[in-house]
């Protein structure tokens, strides 16, 4: 058997997915933003992601192979796995930020294949809030300004200012809203990023490693915020290998 | 990992060192090449036919001179000329003086109509000439005139043009009847006589006096036309022996003048009688065609001399003191004088029944001053010249009838008047005749209000015209005695471009009308001398004589100071650089005599704009200005000027390139510091001391410094040029300074930066524009660096534009600068382009500072749902704002560089800088994408 065949088999084995439904759908209360009626805001179908194998002779790596997932409203789905297993890749593909090697992504039943860049951007703004690893806040702008950034394209900065302050209050940073990213801790930056992701009434929250490099207390605080958002009907797709986060998620995909 | 490995791994340092070495090599090599080419060109071309121009009276600056004729400043005596010649360092001392302006009437023009009456054995001249046509082969009689006389109207006119406007000198009409002539045989005492007579009833045509009437001959009916206008020519005097020594082969035309008799053998009456005796005693046709021998010189143009001799003798003008003045006359003229006759057949009532035609003739290259060859011999339409039937005896030109009027009164020149002062301070200063006028002055202020470097072109005081050269002694009427001709164009060509001053006797001054009297630009028009006596001198001297001729024409006393200038060649061979010490020594010796000695290291043409007021008059005698003419003046010391200006250009470019390299080094060093700061922190955490970290940094830079030093030493040795060593040392110092800066920046920071809280006074971020603004204000260092880089790029483009504009100008400014500019054009352009490349590279390096961070926040915005258009707007606005900040630097830098390189092109340089920065904005936006 050739090395190539061995690699293919490894990739296939790694993608063996065990999914368990942890809890039933929760009742909804303390509505921040009311989700639409769409029951499945995000669906990934037969997603395959390969890296490398270009002209420079680098060896191709199958990161994700034939991955399927359906995210329901009010559900927190966790993609777990060791580093390099493809968690972030699945998130960026789900958020429409990168294209999969093959497979299809559906947003509220609509395939991204049929959309242009502008439409994807508009739909993403309305549907998905993406929280990057580490928060990815913009330097030179206060926490409040960072939260309001998604409202700029629609010219709704002033209209959403109060909501932004409420969201920062909600994530426990009501008194730090004038601070800049450099003046915030890692956990605080994550919370600002989550508030920013929710500012436009997002129906899907895509969060990448929200508790990585955080202490337990800060991590628990983030997990609590995420859980609260699901109670408002927001679907959460989170990549993490944090056991507590995995434990509290409704569904789990474990990448091997 | 040792320092070399770390240096190689650190691509920033490697790239910087490589770029600096390349820039060093390029700059030094280009500089060396261009300087070598320039030196070679100047050395080979800058030594003219003479080295020193000696004048009795210094002009205010001595930098520019009119090359048309000797300046007329006068004042060098023959004793001083002898003293110059006796100096041990003198090889040739050739004097030149303005002798006179000579007015003369052109030969009386006539209109000939073929009226050939056939062979008649009884006509004089038809027998005995072996070149005449055999009687059996003479054609039948023919005529363009009818057997019965018809009435004609002739309208004669003469028009002169200076190339810009025409002036009708006269227009007159005469009427009468003309018919075919006939031979009339008459019985006279002792036999028969045959005469030629008009037909019965013919009245002939007679123009008003002084023109005569019409007359039949064997071959033609000739109608005498109104007298042609007077033509004025200038005459200069040279020492033919010295002049030939100066000009070499180009001066061979002066050889006959060398054989001219001395003053005591130039008695006009004696010479006239000698020629009369020649004709009396008999002279063969061959001798006549070649010219009678006069003391070893064949005088081809003897006819004018004899004609004028006869006239002067009959008029009583010829005295015992009258001398014949030997002349070498100019062949051809650029004087525009057109003579035309309109011929109409009319009825008794004066109505035109038939337009016979219009015949015209212009002065052209066949015209020789003092030796007119029937310039206005016009032919009736359909006429034939049958005079050759009689053989060579019919081929002698009659020449000028009247003796020329020799005058030293130059006050007939136009009266210059004070001009206006322009807004920029330029003064159109002029003067009445005899006063001084300062011309060739640059504007006091440039377009930006800054003072203009006046050293580019030295203003010169021109005496508008010398009033007269009278010496107090009235000379007897001289007769011109033409010894030969010269072609000014051929002399110019043979003498070379860098030998113009003051060979003006052979060297017409081109003049071009560039602006009309109201100051508006006009299509550049080459002006010619016209008969309207405007005084625009653009024609070479009409004739050249020797100093005996000058004495005869001016009548000066012995040893009077009548030499206008002396051109001296030093007795030393080699190029200008090789001869310079001896030339300077000789010049100082001449200065010690109380004379003005200007060392002429090459002299070449340079345009000067001169406003000419009071050029013409209308019917109401109101004067109008001609406008501004561009006249070619001569720049002395052209070699030094070329060396100075073009070397300055190269040095400026080199300096700019080094400035770009300095900025590049600074930018890359900052980039290096940023990349290594985290590494330095890690090393500190591992327990490294500050000193060790500094050593660690300096070791990396040391590798680059060693490479730079090695390159510098090799280049210096190869080129053996101090400039190379200076450039190499400058680059090395620059690099070392960057190393210490980097080491200093990577020190441990004891104090944690305490950033202030967000300032609410900042403009809220609510659009791509405000977002871009916030990003730039947050990253002030990067923004500033990039803006400076963009400014440098704009300035470099401006510099290149100025250079590209300057090279053709330099090439056109003078002959030597043209040759020099051509020799270093390519190296200079390469240097200019390398400056632009450095500027561009600088923008790329500084633009990469925050590229990763920029990509990250653009990705974040994309993740938030900002669409591609908005992201594009962010990128565009960022670059537009950077461009806006860099714009003043780019424009002002380009303006400054332009002012250094070519002040007249500074504005264009600024425009180029502006365009470069504006173009950079979309390009940078695209690159970031």
Q: What is the DSSP string of B401-421?
A: SSPPEEE-B-TTS------PB
Task: Name which of B95, B239, B233, B86 is nearest B564 in CA terms.
Answer: B95
- Sign for the pseudo-dihedral over CA of B52, B54, B59, B65: negative
pLDDT band with cut points at 50, 70 and 90 for residue B4: confident
Mean pLDDT of B686-711: 83
Q: Which of A122, A142, A183 sits opposite B867 (nearest CB)?
A: A122
Nearest CA in chain B to A91: B863
Place of tokens 């639409």: A36
Specify the DSSP element, H or E, that contains B548: helix B547-554
Q: Which residue has the higher pLDDT, B435 or B244?
A: B244
Mean pLDDT of B142-157: 94
Contact map slice: A 228-247 vs B, CB within 8 A: none
DSSP secondary-structure letter at B774?
A: H
The residues near B718 (Cβ < 8 Å, ≥ 6 apart) are: none
How far does chain B reach from its first CA to its final CA, in angstroms?
36
Each residue of B316-369: pLDDT tens digit? Answer: 888 888 899 999 998 877 778 889 999 999 999 999 999 999 999 988 777 888
* Interface contact A7, partner B, CB < 8 A: no
CA distance B549 to B547: 5
Helix, strand, coil distribution of chain B in percent, nearest 5: 45, 20, 35
Task: Name which of B231, B487, B479, B530 is nearest B366 in CA terms.
Answer: B487
User: Strand, helix or coil at B749?
Assistant: coil
Q: Which residue has the higher pLDDT, B498 or B553?
A: B553
The edge-to-edge listing of strands for the beta sheet with B352-362 is B204-205, B166-178, B150-161, B336-346, B352-362
Task: Name which of B507, B797, B493, B497 is nearest B656 in CA terms.
Answer: B797
Is B300 in contact with B286 (CB distance < 8 Å)?
no
Place of tokens 């921040």: A32
* Interface contact A99, partner B, CB < 8 A: no
8 Å CB contact of B771 and A152: yes
Dihedral class, residue B539 (left if φ above 0, else alpha if ψ from -120 to 50, else beta) = beta
Is B693 in contact with B681 (CB distance < 8 Å)?
no
Report CA-CA distances (Å) from B842 to B132, B660, B790, B835.
Answer: 89, 8, 8, 11
CA distance B390 to B138: 10
pLDDT band with cut points at 50, 70 and 90 for residue B928: low
Is B105 in contact with B402 (CB distance < 8 Å)?
yes
8 Å CB contact of B766 and A157: yes
Beta strand A251-255 with A76-81 is parallel
Kindly report the number of other CB atoms within 10 A of residue B449's CB atom: 7
Kindly report the number of other CB atoms within 10 A of residue B517's CB atom: 16
Place of tokens 């009736």: B380
8 Å CB contact of A150 and B864: yes
Q: Which residue has the higher pLDDT, B716 or B657?
A: B716
User: What is the least distance, in Å, from the CA of B855 to any CA of chain A?
Assistant: 11
CA distance B926 to B920: 10
Provide, as residue numbers in chain B, all residues whose Cβ is less than 8 Å from the Cβ of A160.
none
Q: Which of B764, B775, B779 sits opposite A157 (nearest CB)?
A: B764
User: What is the least distance, in Å, from the CA of B781 to any CA of chain A?
Assistant: 13
Dihedral class, residue B791 (left if φ above 0, else alpha if ψ from -120 to 50, else beta) = alpha
pLDDT at residue B656 above 50?
Answer: yes
Residue A134 class from Cβ within 10 Å (0-12 exposed, 13-18 middle, 19+ buried)?
A: middle
Is B681 in contact with B855 (CB distance < 8 Å)?
no
Is B141 in contact with B326 (CB distance < 8 Å)?
no
**Cα angle vertex B915, ends B912, B918, to 5°?**
150
User: Strand, helix or coil at B215?
Assistant: strand
Task: Name which of B709, B656, B712, B664 is nearest B834 in CA terms.
Answer: B656
Give the pair of three-digit tokens for residue B66: 């009119």
CA distance B744 to B731: 20
* Interface contact B814, partner A, CB < 8 A: no
DSSP secondary-structure letter at B427?
A: B
Is A152 in contact with B765 (CB distance < 8 Å)?
yes
**Within its chain, how far is the Cα of A15 from the centroid?**
20
The residues near B256 (Cβ < 8 Å, ≥ 6 apart) are: B297, B326, B328, B483, B484
Is B4 in contact with B707 (CB distance < 8 Å)?
no
Dihedral class, residue B609 (left if φ above 0, else alpha if ψ from -120 to 50, else beta) = beta
pLDDT band with cut points at 50, 70 and 90 for residue A33: very low
> What percent of chain B stands above pLDDT 70?
76
Provide, as residue numbers in chain B, all residues whose Cβ is less than 8 Å from the Cβ of A128.
865
User: What is the least distance, in Å, from the CA of B904 to any CA of chain A?
Assistant: 46
* Interface contact B455, partner A, CB < 8 A: no
* Interface contact B760, partner A, CB < 8 A: yes
Report CA-CA distances (Å) from B150 to A8, A77, B204, B735.
Answer: 121, 125, 10, 101
Kindly report the number of other CB atoms within 10 A of residue B895's CB atom: 25
Task: Name which of B657, B742, B711, B796 is nearest B17 in CA terms.
Answer: B711
Kindly report the number of other CB atoms within 10 A of residue B550's CB atom: 25
8 Å CB contact of B766 and A153: no
Provide, as residue numbers in chain A, all residues whose Cβ is less than 8 Å from the Cβ of B760.
178
Lowest mean pLDDT among A66-80, B394-408, B825-839: B394-408
Provide, as residue numbers in chain A, all residues whose Cβ is less than 8 Å from the Cβ of B859.
97, 136
Nearest CA in chain B to A144: B758
Among the ranges B102-111, B259-268, B516-525, B638-647, which has the highest mean pLDDT value?
A: B259-268
Among the ranges A14-18, B40-44, B327-331, which has the highest mean pLDDT value?
A: B327-331
The residues near B449 (Cβ < 8 Å, ≥ 6 apart) are: none
**Within its chain, how far is the Cα of B458 from the centroid?**
16
8 Å CB contact of B767 and A152: yes
Q: Which of A140, A148, A183 sits opposite B774 (nearest CB)?
A: A140
* Interface contact B874, partner A, CB < 8 A: no
Is B741 in contact with B671 (CB distance < 8 Å)?
no
> What percent of chain B stands above pLDDT 90?
17
Give the pair of three-digit tokens for residue B691: 């000193």
pLDDT band with cut points at 50, 70 and 90 for residue A122: confident
* Interface contact B929, partner A, CB < 8 A: no
Give the pair of three-digit tokens for residue B285: 């046709």
What ipTM did this prediction achieve? 0.73
Kindly report the number of other CB atoms within 10 A of residue B10's CB atom: 19
DSSP secondary-structure letter at A157?
A: T
How far does chain A reach from its first CA to its final CA, in angstroms?
22
Specify the DSSP element, H or E, that contains B856: helix B851-863
Q: Testing the interface with A: which of B767, B769, B863 to mutate, by most A Cβ within 10 A?
A: B863
Contact map slice: A 137-156 vs B, CB within 8 A: 137-142, 144-145, 148-150, 152-153, 155
pLDDT at residue A2 above 50?
Answer: no
* Interface contact B768, partner A, CB < 8 A: yes
CA distance A181 to B753: 14
Q: Which residue has the higher pLDDT, A229 or B352?
A: B352
Per-residue pLDDT, B92:
95
Residue B446 class from Cβ within 10 Å (0-12 exposed, 13-18 middle, 19+ buried)?
A: buried
8 Å CB contact of B771 and A196: no
Q: Which residues pair with B67 in a beta bridge?
A: none
* Interface contact B767, partner A, CB < 8 A: yes
CA distance B619 to B622: 7
Nearest CA in chain B to A202: B864
CA distance B93 to B80: 11
Mean pLDDT of B388-395: 65
pLDDT at residue B206 above 90?
Answer: yes
Mean pLDDT of B458-471: 59
8 Å CB contact of A136 and B856: yes
Mean of pLDDT over chain A: 76
Q: Which of A118, A148, A178 sits opposite B868 (nearest CB)?
A: A118
CA distance A44 to A185: 34
8 Å CB contact of B764 and A142: no
**Strand locations in B162-247 (E):** 166-178, 182-188, 191-197, 204-205, 214-216, 220-224, 230-238
Dihedral class, residue B293 (left if φ above 0, else alpha if ψ from -120 to 50, else beta) = beta
Each residue of B759-812: pLDDT tens digit? Answer: 666 777 888 888 888 888 877 777 887 888 888 888 888 888 887 877 766 655
CA distance B546 to A136: 97
pLDDT band with cut points at 50, 70 and 90 for residue B417: very low
Among the ranges B50-54, B561-565, B584-588, B878-882, which has the highest mean pLDDT value?
A: B584-588
DSSP secondary-structure letter at A28?
A: -
> Could you tell me the pTM of the whole model?
0.60
Is B327 in contact with B305 (CB distance < 8 Å)?
no
């Amino acid at each position: 058997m050739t090395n190539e065949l061995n690699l293919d088999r490894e990739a296939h084995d790694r993608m063996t997915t065990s999914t368990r439904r942890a809890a039933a759908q929760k009742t909804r209360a303390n509505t921040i933003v009311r989700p639409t009626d769409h029951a499945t805001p995000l669906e990934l179908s037969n997603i395959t992601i390969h890296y490398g194998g270009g002209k420079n002779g680098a060896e191709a790596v199958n990161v994700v192979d034939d991955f399927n997932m359906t995210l329901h409203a009010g559900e927190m789905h966790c993609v777990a796995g060791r580093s390099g297993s493809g968690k972030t890749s699945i998130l960026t593909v789900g958020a429409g930020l990168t294209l999969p090697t093959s497979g299809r992504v559906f947003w509220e039943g609509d395939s991204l294949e049929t959309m242009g860049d502008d439409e994807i951007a508009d739909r993403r703004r309305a549907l998905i809030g993406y929280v990057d690893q580490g928060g990815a806040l913009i330097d030179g702008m206060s926490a409040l300004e960072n939260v309001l950034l998604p409202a700029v394209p629609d010219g709704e900065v002033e209209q959403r200012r109060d909501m932004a302050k409420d969201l920062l209050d909600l994530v426990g940073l009501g008194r730090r809203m004038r601070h800049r990213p450099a003046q915030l801790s890692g956990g605080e930056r994550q919370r600002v990023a989550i508030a920013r992701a929710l500012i436009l009434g997002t129906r899907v929250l895509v969060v990448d490693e929200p508790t990585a490099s955080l202490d337990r207390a800060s991590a628990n605080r983030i997990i609590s915020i995420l859980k609260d958002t699901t109670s408002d009907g927001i679907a959460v797709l989170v990549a993490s290998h944090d056991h507590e986060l995995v434990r509290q998620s409704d569904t789990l995909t474990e990448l091997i | 990992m040792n320092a070399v490995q770390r240096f190689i791994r650190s691509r920033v340092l490697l790239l910087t060192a490589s770029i600096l070495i390349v820039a060093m090599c390029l700059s030094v090599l280009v500089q060396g090449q261009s300087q070598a080419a320039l030196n070679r060109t100047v050395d080979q071309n800058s030594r003219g036919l003479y080295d020193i121009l000696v004048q009795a009276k210094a002009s205010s600056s001595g930098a520019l001179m009119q090359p048309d004729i000797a300046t007329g400043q006068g004042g060098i005596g023959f004793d001083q000329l002898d003293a110059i010649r006796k100096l041990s360092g003198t090889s040739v001392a050739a004097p030149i003086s303005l002798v006179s302006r000579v007015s003369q009437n052109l030969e009386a023009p006539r209109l000939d109509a073929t009226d050939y009456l056939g062979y008649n054995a009884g006509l004089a001249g038809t027998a005995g000439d072996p070149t005449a046509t055999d009687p059996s082969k003479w054609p039948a009689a023919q005529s363009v005139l009818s057997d019965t006389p018809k009435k004609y109207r002739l309208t004669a006119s003469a028009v002169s043009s200076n190339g810009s406007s025409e002036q009708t000198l006269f227009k007159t009409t005469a009427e009468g009847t003309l018919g075919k002539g006939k031979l009339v045989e008459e019985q006279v005492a002792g036999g028969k006589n045959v005469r030629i007579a008009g037909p019965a009833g013919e009245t002939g045509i007679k123009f008003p006096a002084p023109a005569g009437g019409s007359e039949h001959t064997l071959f033609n009916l000739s109608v005498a036309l109104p007298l042609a206008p007077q033509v004025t020519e200038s005459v200069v005097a040279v020492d033919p022996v010295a002049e030939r020594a100066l000009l070499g082969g180009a001066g061979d035309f002066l050889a006959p003048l060398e054989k001219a008799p001395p003053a005591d053998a130039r008695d006009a009456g004696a010479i006239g009688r000698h020629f009369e005796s020649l004709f009396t005693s008999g002279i063969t046709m061959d001798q006549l065609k070649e010219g009678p021998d006069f003391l070893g010189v064949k005088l081809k143009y003897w006819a004018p001399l004899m004609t004028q001799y006869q006239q002067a003798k009959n008029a009583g003008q010829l005295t015992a003191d009258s001398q014949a003045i030997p002349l070498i006359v100019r062949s051809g003229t650029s004087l525009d004088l057109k003579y035309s006759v309109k011929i109409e057949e009319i009825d008794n009532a004066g109505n035109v029944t038939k337009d016979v035609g219009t015949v015209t003739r212009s002065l052209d290259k066949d015209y020789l001053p003092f030796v007119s060859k029937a310039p206005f011999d016009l032919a009736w339409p359909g006429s034939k010249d049958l005079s050759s039937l009689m053989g060579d005896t019919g081929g002698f030109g009659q020449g000028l009838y009247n003796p020329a009027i020799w005058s030293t009164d130059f006050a007939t020149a136009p009266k210059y008047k004070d001009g206006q002062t322009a807004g920029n301070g330029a003064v159109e200063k002029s003067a009445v005749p005899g006063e001084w006028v300062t011309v060739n002055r640059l504007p006091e202020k440039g377009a930006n209000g800054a003072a203009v470097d006046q050293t580019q072109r030295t203003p010169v005081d021109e005496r508008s015209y010398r009033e007269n050269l009278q010496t107090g002694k009235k000379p007897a009427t001289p007769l011109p005695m033409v010894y030969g001709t010269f072609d000014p164009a051929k002399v110019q060509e043979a003498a070379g471009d860098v030998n113009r001053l003051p060979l003006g006797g052979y060297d017409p001054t081109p003049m071009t009308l560039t602006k009309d009297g109201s100051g508006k630009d006009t299509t550049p028009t080459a002006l010619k001398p016209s008969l309207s006596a405007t005084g625009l001198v653009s024609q070479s001297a009409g004739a050249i004589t020797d100093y005996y001729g000058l004495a005869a024409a001016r009548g000066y006393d012995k040893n009077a100071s009548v030499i206008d200038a002396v051109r001296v060649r030093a007795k030393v061979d080699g190029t200008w650089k090789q001869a310079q010490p001896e030339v300077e020594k000789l010049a100082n010796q001449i200065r010690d005599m109380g004379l003005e000695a200007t060392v002429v290291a090459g002299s070449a043409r340079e345009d000067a704009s001169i406003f000419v007021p009071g050029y013409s008059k209308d019917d109401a005698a109101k004067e109008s200005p001609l406008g501004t003419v561009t006249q070619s003046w001569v720049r002395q010391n052209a070699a030094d000027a070329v060396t100075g200006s073009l070397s300055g250009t190269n040095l400026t470019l080199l300096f700019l390139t080094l400035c770009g390299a300095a900025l590049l080094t600074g930018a890359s060093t900052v980039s290096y510091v940023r990349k290594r700061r985290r590494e330095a922190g890690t090393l500190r955490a591992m327990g490294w001391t500050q000193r060790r970290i500094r050593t660690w940094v300096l070791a990396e830079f040391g590798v680059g410094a060693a490479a730079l030093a090695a390159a510098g030493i090799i280049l210096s040795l190869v080129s053996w040029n101090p400039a190379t060593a200076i450039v190499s040392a400058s680059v090395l110092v620059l690099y070392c300074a960057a190393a210490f800066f980097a080491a200093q920046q990577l020190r441990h920071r004891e104090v944690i930066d305490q950033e202030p809280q967000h300032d609410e006074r900042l403009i809220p971020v609510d659009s791509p524009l405000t977002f871009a603004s916030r990003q730039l204000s947050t990253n002030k260092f990067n923004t500033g660096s990039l803006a400076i880089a963009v400014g440098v790029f704009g300035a470099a483009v401006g510099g290149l534009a100025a250079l590209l504009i300057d090279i053709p100008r330099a090439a056109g400014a003078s002959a030597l600068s043209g040759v020099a500019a051509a020799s270093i054009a390519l190296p200079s352009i390469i240097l200019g382009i390398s400056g632009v490349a450095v500027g561009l590279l600088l923008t790329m390096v500084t633009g990469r500072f925050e590229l990763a961070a920029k990509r990250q926040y653009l990705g974040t915005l994309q993740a938030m749902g900002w669409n591609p258009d908005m992201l594009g707007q962010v990128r565009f606005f960022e670059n537009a704002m950077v461009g806006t900040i860099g714009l003043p630097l780019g424009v002002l830098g380009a303006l400054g560089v332009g002012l250094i390189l070519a002040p007249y092109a500074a504005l264009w340089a600024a425009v180029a800088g502006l365009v470069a920065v504006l173009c950079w904005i979309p390009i940078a936006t695209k690159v970031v994408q």
